Amino acid sequence: MESTVGIVTPQSATFDLELRLESGRVLGPITLTYETYGELNRDKSNVVLVAHAWTGDAHAAGRHDPDDRKPGWWDSMIGPGKVLDTERYFVICSNVIGSCKGSTGPTSINPRTGKRYKLNFPVVMVRDMVRAQRLLLERLQIDNLLTVIGGSMGAMQALEWGIHYPEMVRSIIPIAGTGRTSPMAISLNAVARQAIYNDPLWKKGNYRPEHPPADGLALARAIGHISFLSDASMHLKFGRRFSARDGQFDFFGQFEVERYLEYNGGSFIDKFDTNSFLYLAKALDLYDVSWGFESLEEAMQQLQCPSLWFAFSSDWLYPPDQTEEVVRVLEQLDKPVEYHLIQSDYGHDSFLVEPEKFTPKVSAFLDKLL
């Protein structure tokens, strides 16, 4: 649908406190950047919290300026008449702590030193991100969420919300998620990390903002981006086409897929901070919903609300069997759970590329709640 939420102004909230993290360290004060779409109804029962993925941000829909080339990252989902209909729902999207998109992270000033945190920033987990989001909702005087929805790292946040704040959450919708990060996903992040560590400009995190480790971050992003795609989507988009600007037998000649990865990685360095990239990758690696519980079953026992799960057939970063592991446990515990395996050739990115394949099921699920 073409309708959008129009021009959106980011907002921020600062909390003059110290948040105790899962690591035992404390972080404070904390600033969260967020955006809202739609209107809060009288009894505050129409709130939808949208959780973003790894390098996402709070800008989920609309534009900040009429000249913006692209709208927010989930504009296809949020707006009048869309699945998250802003004529029905009050939608909130908050940037996570650890990021560089307005919320407190490694680029923020450490109040104890007056300098940027850099690698003095504490390691955060997804659960810590959710704790910080709860502070925001308390500030907004919201104590009831119709649903928490998100893909990838957003799915992890949705699950954490449902487990740790069951009194607030009426449903969760995890998309392309997992209950615990697999060794393969961790290994891909490990290679991306090494690409950054081996860049001499990284300087163990002490690079100057105007001179980031661009080569290392570009390569790290390219590695990550491969994991978001699939063999089928690469065939569809690139095939084995050789770049028209190169000779096929030039030693440094490239296939189109190589040029795409080079461009994607190169354009990323102006959009994201390297240390923030590393901290969020660490949060992904550490993710295990059963952290602090005796078992996955004990963790899932805490979930009281209905949940709607989606996995995608070609997703090899968080493949369907990882989603299905969690769904099976919920079914065994007789929890209200609904699961759909969506056929798509676009890999992990399917939730961004082909939302129309699952949005009707989201709409039907939400209609039952109102």
Assess whether pLDDT exceeds 70 at residue 1.
no
Q: Dump pLDDT digits (tens) for 151-185.
A: 999 999 999 999 999 999 999 999 999 999 999 99
pLDDT category at 2 given cuts 50, 70, 90 is: low
pLDDT category at 240 given cuts 50, 70, 90 is: very high
Assess whether pLDDT exceeds 90 at residue 58.
yes
What sign does the CA torsion over 338, 344, 347, 348 have? negative
- 90-94/30-37 β-pairing: antiparallel
SS3 259: helix
94 is catalytic: no
Pick from 216, 165, 206, 174: nearest CA to 310: 174
Catalytic residue among 85, 199, 345, 348: 348
DSSP tag of 241? P
User: Which uninterrupted H or E stretch holds 340?
Assistant: strand 337-342
- Residue 20 pairs in a beta bridge with 26
315 is catalytic: yes
Radius of gyration in angstroms for the set of CA atoms belonging to the chain, rounded to a whole number: 20
12 is catalytic: no
Catalytic residue among 94, 108, 152, 344: 152
Dihedral (C-alpha) 298, 304, 306, 312: value to the nearest 10 degrees? Answer: -30
pLDDT of 251: 84
Catalytic residue among 75, 315, 345, 349: 315
Overall average pLDDT of the 66-71 stretch: 93
Dihedral (C-alpha) 267, 355, 99, 149: value to the nearest 10 degrees? Answer: 180
Overall average pLDDT of the 179-200 stretch: 98
Overall average pLDDT of the 294-310 stretch: 98
Tokens of 34: 């967020």
pTM of the model: 0.96
Report the C-alpha gap between 181 and 312 in whole angstroms: 17
Burial string for 223-243 (b: 16+ CB within 10 Å, else e) reads bbbbbbbbeebbeeebeeebb
Q: Which residues contact 225 (CB under 8 A, 6 or more apart)?
A: 261, 264, 265
Please state, rounded to an integer, the average pLDDT across all residues of the chain. Answer: 96
Q: Dump pLDDT digits (tens) for 309-326.
A: 999 999 999 999 999 999
The mean-pLDDT minimum among 9-13, 253-257, 272-276 falls in 253-257
Overall average pLDDT of the 69-76 stretch: 96
SS3 87: coil
Task: Answer whether 172's CB lies under 8 Å from 148's CB.
Answer: yes
